[in-house]
Chain A
């Protein structure tokens, strides 16, 4: 039965072949030949390798001259020869052999040559040695680090704090941990270099607003809102951040934090506050610009500061709610892939914090001398 059916189909086919018009057959024949040709021809490579001969390639390699690795620097470049400081860089400083009064260091609270800080660091040196020989994840976490994080969190009245071993790396690692490609960051035009590097590493869309100009920021936020309404699906997954500094390194002005917090809730953007210069200086107890303006610290998503200015140590920290800070323990590059802070520096920072807590008046000194100078 089956074979009969097959034969019947075959007969039909052969008959159709005979009955088809000639042009149809010729067209079909050409198409079949074309397919066979394509099947057997060489693959077409999208990235065309040059069809240069080996000899030509060798000539090209011979001829190519790279630029010198670095351009020559003239001997009298202003930044080439650094001023050499002999002895401790405290209030009275010896620069290039001459004794001067120090108006150049960020030693705001004068803790650089405080004997208590030195004693605490010395005790730590005698107990732990100098280096930690490992990142935080691999036996580089010392009880001093945990202590310091605890104390900083308590001092700033936040849930958690995280320490970095270098001030520059703090904000430069914190921003890319949260803001990724496709997210939007509104940042002040006068932001410091570390923030700029952090933003560059994050690959997000950067929108600059005029320095301390809240109207300009609001304009940008409104524009973004209009964009969002055009594409609500994309808007639902695009995170927004506002990055500002408490006290700007480049201009010396304070950011208008209350207005920023209002804008935050109106346009649903998170605030990252960089307080390297304002920590220990502004606010009644030195808690920074949030205390200065009397704002609830939970309104700021992340506060980042370095301990190299007021605390006269080395390193940096971020503090905020656990929900935000804990993420950096696995995604902060400067935290995971770098050795932890030497314990003597952490101990010095703890002692400096103790001094700050014991005499809150210490933070008023720089402001008083500031007013006199102005």
Chain B
């Protein structure tokens, strides 16, 4: 055991390895089977407990794709591609009717707007199972929702609404972690009052005449909620990232971004003009190596020292269900004098004993994180984003952020919803409702994950994360799972390529404090049934320890614009 950065000794967190016999390929490198065999032998839950960094067990598992399943998945995609080419051929020669829209007659001699191949995937694979996405609902997105029924008579090219609604569908897809998506209750009443008083729109930017007293109130509240000096709120979570990262870094700075970061973070990093280097997902050795190399070698070619180094991580990664190893990241950041940008879109409100996010979950000091960003869409049932940090940071953003100058501020009833829900979570409204919701969510998470693992499904991610990805792998099962669950009155989210790697398609459940035990039990029963029907129970049933990814010496990808 070598000394950890920060001076304490620690046992490296180990990662799951299902298949022992043959070396599995995951994300490009082969796991050494010897290490896997040694680790998988017998141990049920390996717990990382090191001197000071982790105060409680950090259990994260990503079971290996079974070899047979991987092969069959590739075969499946191969068959689909072949059929895709066949159908394109038939459409080109007009043997089959072309359902999709085409260019105008007058513009036929323009350069084509889309290259044929770009849309190959959309036309031939996505179209077949398109009915699993964009399902319109007509009620509150709470624990149960009403879905508008739609039919397609031409294999998903066009939909027709029958006029019926499927009522009371269990909602396992909406980001409603604390159950604040409600149309009754104190939040709704307060928002209604503000709507009456202030109206709906703002029609101006923050720097001009769009800064309402409500916004100032909100920002003070957010700062006290997070435990930071000051905060600033923006109208859209996506825009918060894409417009503020360019304000913080520029050419001559280095951004170290996690492999699986959200599109908004990637876009913000690209727009800033800084050099971007990607480290393996949640892999601290990869990050440390990049930091060391960056400081020692400096900027590429000129060798000048970097102006700043910014590490971009997320609290909970929504596709994997993993939680960032924040104590280690902070230790690294302190040692190498880098800055940390933490995107808590999914983790704020959903993690931690007080619901204050991933910093609260690990019991760390919010001052250690330089920029705490988050959104109000998930746990607060509103919309918008915020950034919290030291007063100098927020002062700078107030003057230099693109959003403050050019984009509209938040709508007043939305602001009031955030204020009421945040006060509720903090307990400032005089009830214990917030605390109960946070606890209910944690219980639901543990219960649901444990039951699914016992049933034999492969579940990714951390034990405590309310985002539960259930692996499907094969393309046909994506469509089948979504449809079968809807038949049984449960709405789930299924994701495939390109949001996930091509063979790792999954169904993603988002748990909520609004889900009662009965709802969860019903859902689990149906998932069990569908799992048997579609043969989804791939797990080798070993609740395995966490093995660190043996990462590759040949390392980082550097992307420069």
Measured CB to CB, the residues of A under 8 A from B are: 49-50, 52, 57, 60-61, 64-73, 77, 79-80, 82-90, 93, 95, 102, 104-107, 111-113, 117-118, 121-122, 125-134, 136-143, 145-146, 165-169, 172, 178, 192-194, 197, 200-201, 203, 235-240, 265, 268-270, 298, 306, 308-309, 311-314, 321-324, 326-327, 329-330, 333-334, 336-339, 341-342, 344-345, 348
Contact = CB atoms under 8 A, between A and B. Distances in A.
Contacts of A169: 236, 238-239
A82 B381 contact: no
B519 to A, nearest CB: 16
B296 A314 contact: no
A69 B393 contact: yes
A66 B337 contact: yes
B151 interface: no
Given A66-B307, A89-B199, A197-B271, 16 more contacts: A69-B393, A87-B198, A105-B204, A105-B208, A118-B196, A118-B200, A130-B382, A168-B239, A192-B406, A200-B271, A237-B111, A268-B109, A309-B203, A313-B411, A321-B104, A341-B383
Interface residues of B, number: 120
A166 B235 contact: yes
B497 interface: no
A184 to B, nearest CB: 10
B297 to A, nearest CB: 6
Nearest to A142: B137
B396 A73 contact: yes
Contact of A308 (B102, B201, B248, B339): B201
Interface of B: 100-104, 106-107, 109-115, 122, 126, 133-142, 145, 147-148, 171, 173-176, 180-183, 187-188, 191-192, 195-204, 206-213, 216, 235-239, 242-243, 248, 262-264, 267, 270-271, 292-293, 295-297, 305-309, 336-339, 370-371, 375-378, 380-383, 392-393, 395-399, 402-408, 411, 413-414, 417, 491, 493, 561
Contact of B211 (A83, A240, A313): A83
B469 to A, nearest CB: 13
Contacts of A85: 209-213
Contacts of B380: 131
Contacts of B104: 298, 321, 323
A257 B285 CA distance: 57
B338 A89 contact: no
Kindly list the 6 A-B residue pairs having the minimum CB-CB distance in the complex, ordered from nearest. A166-B236, A70-B396, A82-B211, A323-B101, A338-B238, A168-B407
B76 to A, nearest CB: 21
Contacts of B206: 82
Given A89-B204, A138-B173, A324 B408 contact: no
B200 A313 contact: yes
Contact of B236 (A86, A104, A197, A338): A338
B211 A339 contact: no
A125 B175 contact: no
Nearest to A178: B113
Contacts of A324: 113
A236 B111 CA distance: 6
A325 to B, nearest CB: 9
Contacts of A338: 236-238, 264
Given A70-B393, A137-B133, A236-B111, A104 B204 contact: yes
B378 A69 contact: no
20 contacts: A61-B292, A77-B399, A85-B209, A89-B210, A102-B209, A129-B183, A130-B187, A132-B174, A133-B381, A134-B173, A139-B171, A139-B174, A143-B136, A168-B403, A238-B111, A308-B202, A308-B408, A339-B175, A339-B375, A348-B200
B199 A118 contact: yes
Contacts of B200: 112, 117-118, 121, 312-314, 344-345, 348
Nearest to A342: B383
Contacts of A197: 242-243, 271, 402
Nearest to B303: A50
A281 B441 CA distance: 49
Nearest to B420: A130
B203 A89 contact: yes
A61 B336 contact: yes
A88 B193 CA distance: 12
A183 B113 CA distance: 11
A338 B147 CA distance: 21
A137 B110 CA distance: 32
B203 A106 contact: yes
B264 A337 contact: yes
B335 to A, nearest CB: 8
Given A105-B203, A312-B199, A141 B396 contact: no
Contacts of A313: 200-201, 411
A327 to B, nearest CB: 7
Contacts of B139: 127-128
Given A121-B195, A345-B411, A136 B134 contact: yes
A131 to B, nearest CB: 4
Given A50-B297, A77-B399, A298-B104, A146 B136 contact: yes
A329 B126 CA distance: 12
A269 B411 CA distance: 38
B406 A84 contact: no
B101 A322 contact: yes
B330 to A, nearest CB: 15
A166 B234 CA distance: 10
Given A118-B200, A337-B263, A127 B183 contact: yes
